[in-house]
Amino acid sequence: MTRLISAGRETVSYPDRGATARLPLPAGYNHLRHRTRVGHGRAAFEAAGTAVTTFHAHRTSGMRVRAADGAVSPGDRVVVGIGLGPLRIDAPCEVIWTAYEPARVGFAYGTLTGHPESGEESFIVEIDPDGTVWFTVTAFSRPESWYTRLAGPVIPFLQLRYARWLGRHVRRLAEAA
């Protein structure tokens, strides 16, 4: 069941709250959709789903994540550290929706004021009827700060690179199961 937090709660820095739960993505943003095959079978699906919904996958990929322990819930606040060393930028987000279903597990978070981008990103693990397990990152975003505006097309390129990198980490965690 996909659970979307109340659309009336204005805390995110963009108007299209929850748009990663439905397609098409809203106009006026850079769009990202990247799908990675991460394994096969129920054990791989459960391991990948747990890794994604507890931020274990993000942390093992090198991101610094400050979030509550356990599985994510709508309304949870998250701060993701982007960058390296003294060049690290804290990017505050809020979990917008979650999916804890028999064949689909994951969540989306949206940017809060102070995030260098404005938009939403979802991280979903799905298992096909044949047992193939997929990890999909879907996002829409646009620059919010002077330095992301200055970076121009470099930001969408880096977002795609990170989605691929995260997919490889989810695959390793699923294969370990």
Close Cβ partners of 89 (under 8 Å, ≥ 6 residues apart): 81, 82, 83, 116
* pLDDT for 173: 95
Global pTM value:
0.90
Mean pLDDT score, 6-18: 71
The token duo for 86 is: 């003294």
* pLDDT for 153: 87
Q: Residue 63: which of 145, 165, 137 has the closest Cα?
A: 165
Distance of alpha carbon 33 from its chain centroid, rounded? 11
Long-range pairs for 148-152 at CB < 8 Å and ≥24 separation? 148/116, 148/117
Average pLDDT, the chain: 90
Q: How confident is the model at residue 63 (pLDDT cuts 50, 70, 90)?
A: confident
Taking only the tens place, the pLDDT of each residue in 77-135 is 999 987 777 777 889 999 999 999 999 999 999 999 888 899 999 999 999 999 999 99
Q: How confident is the model at residue 142 (pLDDT cuts 50, 70, 90)?
A: very high
